[in-house]
């Protein structure tokens, strides 16, 4: 609502909202119980460590999703989960598979070391999406072990690559602290957007397949954990040493030998009824022979937790550009090309808002869009400007 009001107030001639109807993946119930990762002694099955299954943040304003205000609570705890992970339980020996790329899995000449229900894969965050990691494991086990899968998968951020060379972590540096946990989507769908309306926008009147569970949920439970908790697992592992090609990495052994077991309990849910997602879109018609061409600028609005960098640094940029262009428009300036700005919903769980926008305007964008400027998380610390763009924009960026 704020962006809708702001853009209109700032002089954008066309501003509208587009409602989408989408079933969403959810974490465990707010009231609990939440997802659990426990480390057990292999001999006695006694619990020796409980992984952190929540993140906390300061309450600075009204929290609409929880109906809690700062006058009633100073800190808020949110459950850790991976979107689209199927609910389930697993108990197994930890086996380290690096990033779970196809090349990583080829190390396991004895496929049963990984492809066994009494194994839980320990995976490094990075290189591929969580969904890709699961797909690679599934393909490997289908090929090498008749489809027998590990019981589950836990993912951690390795401090050997997430901390800067001097080792400084937040709040002293830009590195992720040892108790930091990465929220991510593990969707098995290779396409973004609403998996129940493939290729079509998820708006009123469009048929839905109602097959989210079949198309997007993982075949095994998946849960992210912190580096500190992963270190407890690593220190109990034995077996073959990790390949030199995987180094530097914190784990020293592949497993499955060792002194511990991982007990995994995932209690994620999927909405039975669709939620209403909202895209906010503004347009400023161009003037001249190139007015039919579009320059688009967009960012998503949702965040896993507070989103200071991702996406709100991008939202700040988007709002600043919208304000200045609107001011210029009110003073008589007109762009040569039509400018489209957008604030998309539900990016974190699978690029939903932006994908549905593209599917709704596919033919128009294919024939008219000349460039898109993504403002996801442009501000990260105070490092050197590092753009990622098509080679056609090289001269403009330099």
| Spatial distance between the Cα atoms of 302 and 214, rounded to a whole number of angstroms | 25
Indicate if 51 and 95 belong to the same structural domain.
Answer: yes
Indicate if 232 and 282 belong to the same structural domain.
Answer: no
Residues linked to residue 281 through DSSP beta bridges, in sequence order: 16, 342
Lowest mean pLDDT among 216-225, 290-299, 382-391: 382-391
Specify whether the CB–CB gap between 105 and 273 falls below 8 A. Answer: no
Element (H, E) at 366: helix 362-368
| Spatial distance between the Cα atoms of 282 and 322, rounded to a whole number of angstroms | 9
Position 229 pLDDT exceeds 80: yes
Position 168 pLDDT exceeds 90: no
Backbone angles phi, psi at 137, to 5 degrees: -65, -45
CATH number for the domain including 153? 3.50.30.30
Specify whether the CB–CB gap between 111 and 145 falls below 8 A. Answer: yes
How many C-beta atoms surround the C-beta of residue 214 within 10 A?
10
Q: Which of these, 349, 255, 259, 371, lies nearest to 300 by C-alpha position?
A: 349
For residues 1-30, give the mean pLDDT.
96
Q: Which of these, 328, 303, 330, 329, lies nearest to 315 by C-alpha position?
A: 303
| Spatial distance between the Cα atoms of 237 and 203, rounded to a whole number of angstroms | 50
Indicate if 189 and 276 belong to the same structural domain.
Answer: no
Indicate if 52 and 13 belong to the same structural domain.
Answer: no
Of 229, 250, 269, the last residue of a domain is: 269
Indicate if 217 and 305 belong to the same structural domain.
Answer: no
Of 269, 296, 324, the last residue of a domain is: 269
Q: Where in the sequence is the domain holding 50, given as residue range(s)? A: 26-269
pLDDT confidence of residue 66: 53
Look at the chain and report how many structural domains it folds into. Answer: 2
DSSP 83: B
Of 221, 242, 269, the last residue of a domain is: 269
Question: Regarding beta strands 36-41 and 88-96, do their DSSP bridges make them parallel or antiparallel, or are they unpaired?
Answer: unpaired
Indicate if 236 and 340 belong to the same structural domain.
Answer: no
Mean pLDDT (the chain) is 92
Position 269 pLDDT exceeds 60: yes
pLDDT confidence of residue 90: 98
| Spatial distance between the Cα atoms of 314 and 54, rounded to a whole number of angstroms | 26
Position 64 pLDDT exceeds 70: no
Lowest mean pLDDT among 45-49, 161-165, 303-307, 338-342: 161-165
Q: What is the DSSP string of 278-332?
A: EEEEEEE---STTTTSEEEEEEE---SS--TTTTHHHHHHHHHHHHHHHHHHHTT
Indicate if 51 and 150 belong to the same structural domain.
Answer: yes
Indicate if 66 and 104 belong to the same structural domain.
Answer: yes
Q: Which of these, 293, 297, 295, 303, lies nearest to 280 by C-alpha position?
A: 297
Indicate if 263 and 277 belong to the same structural domain.
Answer: no
| Spatial distance between the Cα atoms of 354 and 357, rounded to a whole number of angstroms | 5
Indicate if 12 and 154 belong to the same structural domain.
Answer: no
CATH number for the domain including 1? 3.40.630.10
pLDDT confidence of residue 206: 94
pLDDT, tens digit, 9 for 90 and up, residues 105-131? 999 999 999 999 999 999 999 999 999
Indicate if 176 and 316 belong to the same structural domain.
Answer: no
Indicate if 5 and 34 belong to the same structural domain.
Answer: no
Judged by DSSP in three states, 55 sits in strand
């Amino acid at each position: 609502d704020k962006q809708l009001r702001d853009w209109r107030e700032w002089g954008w001639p066309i501003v509208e909202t587009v409602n989408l109807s989408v079933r969403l993946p959810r974490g465990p119930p707010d009231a609990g119980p939440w997802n659990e990762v426990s480390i057990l002694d292999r001999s006695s099955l006694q619990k020796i460590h409980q992984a952190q299954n929540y993140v906390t943040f300061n309450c600075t304003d009204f929290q609409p999703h929880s109906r809690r205000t700062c006058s009633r609570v100073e800190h808020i705890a949110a459950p850790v989960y991976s979107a689209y992970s199927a609910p389930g339980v697993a108990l197994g020996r930890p086996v380290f598979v690096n990033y779970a790329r196809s090349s990583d899995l080829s190390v396991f000449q004895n496929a049963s070391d990984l492809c066994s229900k009494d194994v839980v894969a320990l995976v490094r965050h990075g290189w591929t999406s969580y969904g890709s990691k699961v797909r690679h494991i599934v393909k490997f086990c289908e090929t090498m072990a008749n489809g027998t899968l590990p019981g589950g998968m836990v993912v951690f951020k390795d401090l050997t690559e997430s901390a800067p060379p001097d080792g400084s972590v937040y709040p002293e540096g830009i590195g992720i602290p040892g108790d930091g946990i990465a929220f991510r989507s593990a969707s098995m769908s290779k396409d973004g957007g609403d998996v129940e309306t493939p290729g079509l926008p998820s708006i009123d009147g469009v048929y839905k397949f109602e097959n989210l569970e079949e198309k997007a949920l993982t075949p095994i439970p998946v849960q992210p954990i912190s580096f500190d908790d992963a270190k407890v697992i690593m220190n109990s592992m034995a077996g073959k040493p990790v390949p030199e090609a995987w180094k530097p990495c914190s784990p020293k052994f592949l497993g499955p030998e060792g002194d511990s077991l991982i007990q995994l309990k995932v209690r994620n849910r999927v909405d039975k009824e669709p939620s209403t997602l909202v895209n906010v879109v503004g347009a400023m018609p161009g003037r001249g022979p190139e007015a039919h061409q579009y320059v688009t600028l967009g960012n998503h609005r949702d965040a896993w937790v507070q989103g200071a960098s991702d996406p709100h640094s991008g939202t700040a940029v988007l709002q600043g550009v919208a304000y200045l262009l609107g001011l210029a428009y009110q003073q008589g300036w007109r762009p040569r090309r039509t400018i489209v700005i957008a604030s998309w919903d539900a990016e974190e769980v699978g690029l939903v808002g932006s994908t549905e926008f593209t599917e709704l305007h596919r033919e128009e964008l294919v024939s008219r869009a000349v460039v898109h400027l993504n403002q996801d998380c442009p501000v990260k610390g105070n490092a050197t400007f590092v753009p990622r763009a098509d080679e056609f924009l090289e001269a403009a960026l330099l």
